[in-house]
Amino acid sequence: MRRAVVGVMGPGEGASRESVELAQRLGRLIAQEGWVTLSGGRNVGVMRAVNAGAKEIAGSLTVGILPSASSDVCPDVDVMIVTEMHNARNNINVLSSDVVVACGNAGMGTVSEIALALKGGKTVFLLGADQETRALFRKLGHERVVEVATPEETIEIIKRLALCR
C-alpha cells in the first residue's frame, strides 16, 4: 500500500523561531501517522526542522526535492531528489504531495508553492501564517485553504477529511 505524502513548505533563510518550532512538531506528527514527509530538502529553516522532527520517529521516511546538485542537503533527508530546476522544482514539491502544509509566514518561494498547489487542486493548510497571507489565499483557494493554529490541529483535520490514506 502506498504511503501518503505530506508536503511541508516554508521559509528557509529568515524562518522565524516559531515557524521552525511548528515545523519540527509537525514533522514528528506526520511521521507518527506513518506518512511520508516531503520538503524542499535543504539544510535550513522549515525544511531542516520538519525533517529533524520526522526523524525523531523510528521508521519515518523523508524526501527532499532539491533545487540543484550544489544545495546543502539536510542530513535528515532519506531520499534526495536533485532537480537542477531551481525554483521550478516547486511544482514537483506540491504535485508529489497528497496535501500541502505551508508553515510560517510565506516568502516568495512558499507563496509560489501555495499557488501551484491550489492550481493543482490540492488542499493547502496554512499553519502560523500572518493575516495578509491568510486573506490572499482564502480569496484564491476558497474551501481548499484550511487555516490551522497548531500542528496537532493540522493532523486531525487531514485525518477527518481523509486527505491522506
Q: What separation in angstroms does the CA of 62 have from each of 53, 120, 160, 163? A: 10, 22, 23, 19
CB-neighbour burial class of residue 69 (10 A; exposed 0-12, middle 13-18, buried 19+)? exposed
Give per-residue burial for 18-36: e unless 16+ CB within 10 Å, then b.
ebbbbbbbbbbbbbeeebb
Which pLDDT band holds residue 23 (cuts at 50, 70, 90)? Answer: very high
Report the pLDDT value the prediction gives residue 25, as an integer from 0 to 100: 98
Q: What is the pLDDT of residues 27-52, one digit of tens each?
A: 999 999 999 999 999 999 999 999 99
Model confidence at 165: pLDDT above 80: no
Model confidence at 53: pLDDT above 80: yes
Say which residues have a Cβ less than 8 Å from residue 58's Cβ, sequence separation at least 6. none
The amino acid sitting at 108 is M
Q: Which of 9-13, 105-109, 142-146 has the lowest mean pLDDT?
A: 105-109
Which pLDDT band holds residue 24 (cuts at 50, 70, 90)? Answer: very high
Model confidence at 162: pLDDT above 80: no
- Domains, the chain, with CATH or none: 5-160 (3.40.50.450)
Specify the pTM.
Answer: 0.94
Residue 146 is placed in which grid cell? 484550511
The amino acid sitting at 102 is A
- At residue 71, the 3 state secondary structure works out as coil
Model confidence at 136: pLDDT above 90: no
- Cβ-contact 40, 93 below 8 angstroms: yes
* Strand duo 99-103 + 124-127: pairing: parallel
Residue 59 is placed in which grid cell? 521508521
Residue 134 is placed in which grid cell? 491568510
